[in-house]
Every structure is written in C-alpha cells, then in structure tokens.
Amino acid sequence: MDVTKQEAEATLEQIQALANHTRRAIASKYTSPLLILWGLVFTVAYLGTHFFVARAFHIWMVLDAIGLIGTFFICWQQLRSASPIKVSPAEKMGWRMFWFWTLLFVYIFIWLNIMAPVKAVQMNAFMVTAVMFASVAKGLWLRSSFMVWFGLAVTAITLFGLYLVPRTYYCLWMAVMAGGAFLASGLYLRLRWR
C-alpha cells in the first residue's frame, strides 16, 4: 500500500476529527434535553423571583424539584430507549451524568453552608458559576468546545449581572440572558445533531 507522508498526516487528522465528532454527537444527545429543561426552570424561576420576590424561596424549591425529577426522568428514558449508545451496567453514561450533577449540587449546598452568611444574589451567582465551571471542565474532558464556550459565556453573563446590572434587575437579566442561553444552547444542539 503506497501512502505518502501528506496522506498519512491527512488521515491522522481525519481520525482525530471523527473521534471528536463522535464524542460530541453522543454527549449532545444527553445534554440537549437537560439544557432545555434547566433553561425553562431557570427562566421561570428568575422571572418568578423578579415579580414575586417574597415567594422566591418557594418558587426555587418547587422549580428545582421539578428540574431534578425531570433530570431523573430524562436520564431514565435515555437508558431505556432513546440512548444512542448502550453501555455495560457499571458504565451507564446516563447514570454517570445524573450522579455527577446530583453530587455537584450536594457540594454546592455544602460550600454555601461553609461560606454562610451570603446575600441571596451572591448565593445565586455562586451556584450558577459553579455549575458553569462543571460545564467547562466537562467540555475540556470531552473535548467539546461548545460546552467550554457555553460555560464561559453564562459565567460572563452572571458576573455582568452581579456587578454591572442594578440589583433590582438582576433576576430579570438572568431570566432572559442565562435562562435564554440554556434554552438556545439546548435547541442548537438538538438541531445541530438531529
């Protein structure tokens, strides 16, 4: 078989590109519905907090619970039928995703208790940026530039809202910009990899 140096280089590049493409395509199948779900949860919760600030605690409790139940349901559904990959029981990606995010929220709760007392806005910004840090780390791990940029963009949106937007409009800003970023990203992934 005659293969030139240039052909060998091109082949190796093609192999690397396809490997990355495959990882991203599979990861997006899991990520897209979760981004849409949490985009809806965040948008409604922030809007609720903006307009009914006295009920903010209950709004977030209820919507976070809906988000967690929805996350569990999506992971369960993906394992049952919609999953593009089948894995051995010990390595089920859906469950790994579920436990990853569940543990992250447990740790966020622990960190917030360690740092208490913090203002509600600071607490919220901390939670969002912690989740976005996880997104960036996962993106680097999966070699998904989308997840890295998504994480960095929402972090920037949050910091802008925290430091530059008047406090009375922080929730409105986050509803539109952060919730919107989740929804737009989820829809983009769904259309991109359909």
Partner 1 sequence: MAQLDNIIHQPVRLQIMSSLVALDPGEQVDFVHLRKILNLTDGNLGAHLTRLEEAGYIKIEKTFIARKPRTFISVTGRGRDAFDEHIVALEKIIQGRTNQ
Residues making contact with partner 1 (CB under 8 A):
1-5, 8-9, 11-12, 14-15, 18-23, 25-26, 29, 80-81, 83-88, 91, 93, 193
What are the CB-based long-range contacts (under 8 Å, 24+) for 130-138?
Answer: 130/104, 131/104, 132/158, 134/100, 134/101, 134/104
**Residue nearer to partner 1 on the CB measure, 124 or 144:** 144
Q: Are 132 and 158 in contact (CB under 8 A)?
A: yes
Q: How far apart are CA 134 and CA 92, in angstroms?
A: 19
In whole angstroms, how close is the CB of 192 to partner 1 at the nearest point? 11
Least distance (Å) between residue 8 CB and partner 1: 4
Q: How far apart are CA 156 and CA 143, in angstroms?
A: 21
Residue closer to partner 1 by CB (options 17, 110) is: 17
Pick from 190, 194, 189, 164: nearest CA to 177: 164
Give least dist CB 158 to partner 1, A: 32
Q: Between residues 23 and 50, which has the closer beta carbon with respect to partner 1? A: 23
- Tell me the one-letter amino acid at 88: S
99/109 with CB nearer partner 1: 99
Asked whether the beta carbons of 78 and 96 are under 8 A apart, the reply is: no
Euclidean distance between CA atoms 85 and 32, whole angstroms: 15
**How many other CB atoms are found less than 10 A from the CB of residue 38?**
22
Residue 2 or residue 116: which is nearer to partner 1 going by CB?
2
